[in-house]
Chains A and B, each alone.
Chain A
Amino acid sequence: MDFNDTPEEAAYRATARAWLKANVPAAAGKPDSGLEDPSNMGACKAWQARKADAGYACITWPKEWGGAGGASWQSVIFGQEEAGFDVPGNPFSIGLGMCVPTVMTVGNEADKLRFVRPAARGDEIWCQLFSEPAGGSDVAAVRTRAIRDGDDWVINGQKVWTSGAHYSDFGLLLVRTDIDVPKHKGMTMFWIDMKAKGVEVRPIHQMSGASNFNEVYFTDLRIKDSQRVGEVGDGWKTSLVTLMNERLSIGGGGGPSHKLALKLAQDIATLAGPAARDAGLREKIADWFVQSEGLKYTRYRTLTALSRGQTPGPESSIGKVVGANLMQDMANTAMELEDQFGIISDPDMAPLAGAFQTALMGAPGLRIAGGTDEILRNIIAERVLGLPQDVRLDKNVAFKDVPTGR
């Protein structure tokens, strides 16, 4: 047991850090707010291209597809080092983490040649069009229809919660192609051009005030059969390839640390004296510390398995459910501490520039995105512990006969 890098890891880290020092652009864009701003998007794309040229984009992908042919541990180490720099935002993660790997695994040769390298370089951005108004946790309930018309398919329906649809060039689309078979069997996957006629993107105004994701409407969108990814009717199987990567790429989710909570407590008075002396609060801080450190060391365990060339255990499945609830609990406690002042979210007035107010308004989204707390617990219970699936009333019924409630 050793926290130090192996000589090989240390060498890779040193090279990566030196490269970052020499190559990180001076004025980085703001990752969350400015993606619609072409100059910011330009900075993001330029940074991705520079990384690709140096072998630091898609590190684990084969060289022939624009990657570096590297190992997972190299990818993790580069990520750790890059996090120490103020780099432009990353609007590519959904495409490179989920959509494009699906094309690489299931797609045809022509599509691979057309899409993989430009995506790796950041020239083209992808979004994932799976969730629908009637299919959130139950992704396989998609109703968006694709109907065959000669060599074409005609698509009508609606997707929702589509991150980055407003700046994406292409989308990976899961649709229903057969309503007469049970729901998991009648779906097919396609790629689409997000700028095509018949695609309309409408931003969703989130409760936090931001608009990171969208509704996407399809009205008689006509696409070629050659845009199919995988076989007709194999859409669910294909989507599992995509989703397998999703929960790994949505991490513990940042937010204020236990250190910041302690700092806040030191600056605030309670009836019993400084909040930092309050026993109840101190117990909570200890609990938060144990959770956040536990997640950090769980990631180290995963990294260790990768370093040893082993398959990591299922322990990383706890990350998001713990991280998101930790963030919400910490934020709510911070509001209690700030007391009446807590209602102020103006970063110029709120303590610590409103970090806890921001966390409070972001946490509900984090508890839902990429698998709700409830779905993640189901996954741990079924896939990690091996408990039986719940009874599914829609399993052996033709999709058109599945009860919908409206």
Chain B
Amino acid sequence: MDFDFSDDQKFLKNEARKFLDGRSPVSVVRGVLNDETKAYDAGLWKAIGEQGWLGAAIPEAHGGLGLGHLELCVIAEELGRCLAPTPFSSTVYFVAEALMLAGSDAQKAKWLPKIAAGDVIGCFATVERPGTLTDAQVQARVEGGKLTGVKVPVTDGDVADLAVVLAREGGKTRLFLVELAGAGVTREVLQTLDPTRSAARLTFNGAAAEPLGDAGEGLALAQGVLDRAAVLLAFEQIGGADRALEMAKDYAMNRYAFGRPIGSYQAIKHKLADMYIKTELARSNAYYGAWALSTGAAELPLAAAAARVAACDAFWYAAKENLQTHGGMGYTWEVDCHLYYRRAQQLGLVAGGAKAWKERLVSQLERRNAA
């Protein structure tokens, strides 16, 4: 039994924390929040690229560090902790993973080195309207290699170079690679809950689209990408939840009311204890997801669903109760609670919401129990 990260992986996590403490303080997050023209922090994005993190799980043959997904998990936790305002998740958890899952040798050779080097930003474009991603939702069409349709919202779609798009071809769903600088692509920046992570409406009007994976496999491959992303996002969510709990704790120790620290009241203690409980449950489920992801285990769909459900719950609870613990000050623009409140929703929705993942979890469970 060795159900924890190795000493090397913990060292990497520690180094990532130190690096981000220096390069991604909350002023960097607020720099993106307060500037409508800024989609992400370009300096931080460049620095992250120089660390090699974009290629942590990309094989060396394709220009990555070839470390593996466990290393990517510890980096993700630290990025989530500091709310790093960059297109890391879209590029690495979604697009690089989609290429590694479904790409041809030529596609991997073309794109993965560019992603690892920080030369390409990716985005994952699947949904078109409110509600769970289902077959019926996919109306975008590819005919003769040309894509027509609308994808909205697409996180990082406003700044991405390369999109992985779920569309219909000959009536069946399929994934496609679309270079967004090409003709036939219109982007509109969206107003969103979390302005520190930008999103766009992408309108395709005969844009060149190259198949990624087999015809008819679009939804299944998209779900495969979502499973991988769910595990990695869970670590970002845990990092965020941990930080929100720390903020609540620090405030509760130093804020006095009725002559004593509010952290000495059980109403506050029990709230913070519940934050801790949910975060530890999420961490344990995420570790299992990390194991499944890193070993390519058949349990990944169930493990990913459990990791996602637990992480969505933990981060949302920690974010909203951290704000509550801060009282009126927590509701102001100047105090950072709302940054975590916003990000908890952004991360909780970007790979599909918990409700749909719970259904997926139970379906997987039924399948396993029947086997």
Chain A residues within 8 Å of B, Cβ to Cβ: 1-6, 9, 73, 258-259, 262, 276, 279, 282-283, 285-287, 289-291, 293-298, 300-301, 303-305, 307-308, 315, 318, 321-322, 374, 376-378, 380-382, 384-391
Contact = CB atoms under 8 A, between A and B. Distances in A.
A262 B269 contact: no
Interface string B42-54: 0000000000000
Contacts of B365: 258-259, 262, 285, 289
Contacts of B265: 390
A3 B291 contact: yes
B353 to A, nearest CB: 12
A283 B353 CA distance: 12
User: What does DSSP make chain A's interface, helix, strand, loop or mixed?
Assistant: helix
Given A301-B287, A377-B273, A381-B269, A6 B253 contact: no
B1 interface: yes
Nearest to B6: A1
B253 A290 contact: no
A303 B1 contact: yes
Interface in B231-270: 245, 249, 252-253, 260-261, 263-266, 268-270
B285 interface: yes
A323 to B, nearest CB: 11
Contacts of A283: 355, 358-359
Nearest to B291: A1
Contacts of A259: 365, 369
Interface string B302-339: 00011001100100000000000000000000000000
A212 B290 CA distance: 42
CB-CB nearest 9 A-B residue pairs: A294-B281, A286-B358, A381-B269, A297-B284, A377-B273, A300-B3, A380-B273, A387-B263, A388-B264
B282 A294 contact: yes
Nearest to A292: B281
B70 interface: yes
A391 B3 contact: no
16 contacts: A1-B4, A1-B290, A262-B362, A290-B309, A290-B313, A290-B361, A294-B306, A298-B281, A300-B1, A300-B3, A374-B266, A380-B276, A382-B269, A385-B249, A387-B252, A391-B264
B79 interface: no
Given A290-B310, A295-B281, A307 B264 contact: no
A262 B261 contact: no
Interface of B: 1-6, 70, 245, 249, 252-253, 260-261, 263-266, 268-270, 272-274, 276-277, 280-285, 287-288, 290-291, 294, 305-306, 309-310, 313, 355, 357-359, 361-362, 365-366, 369
Contacts of A318: 276-277, 280-281
A281 to B, nearest CB: 9
Contact of A307 (B1, B6, B276, B362): B1
Contacts of B361: 286, 289-290
Given A298-B281, A380-B273, A381-B269, A3 B309 contact: no
A276 B365 CA distance: 12
A67 B270 CA distance: 39
Contact of A304 (B3, B305, B355): B3
Contacts of A303: 1, 3
Contacts of A295: 281, 284
Nearest to A384: B276
A307 B2 CA distance: 8
A387 B281 contact: no
Given A282-B362, A287-B309, A322-B277, A305 B4 contact: yes
Contact of B2 (A2, A279, A286, A297): A2
Contact of A377 (B5, B269, B306, B309): B269
A385 B5 contact: no
